Amino acid sequence: MNASSPKISSKTNWEKVLSKSDEDIDFSDSPELTAADFALGQPLSTLTLEVEPEVLAWFRAQGADANAKMRAALRIYAQAHQGK
């Protein structure tokens, strides 16, 4: 990450943040990370899905993690419509 990479407007002084070394940061109030914190999430299911070319192109234009964004969009939709 560099000082110009955040695309969302931020009041964070990224130059100051990025200039700090690990030794300069106080982690004393952070919980210790365990192996479980780094474990993979739920296993994924594979399926074949037909989508319009412009929809696929839009997701791919969002970056290298297009599949993750498509999964997130489907998850949000499913959660919003649960119990309906």
Q: Return the pLDDT at 39.
A: 63
**Domain range summary for the chain, segments of one domain joined by +:** 44-84
Taking the model in full, what pTM does it have?
Answer: 0.48
Q: Return the pLDDT at 53.
A: 93
Q: Return the pLDDT at 61.
A: 93
Pairwise CA distance, residues 60 & 76, whole Å: 19
Pairwise CA distance, residues 29 & 20, whole Å: 18
Q: Return the pLDDT at 38.
A: 64
pLDDT tens, residue order, the chain (84 aa) = 555 555 667 788 888 888 988 888 887 888 777 776 666 677 788 889 999 999 999 999 988 888 889 988 998 999 899 887
Q: Return the pLDDT at 73.
A: 92
C-alpha Rg value of the chain to the nearest Å: 19
Answer yes or no: are the C-beta atoms of 6 and 14 closer than 8 Å.
Answer: yes
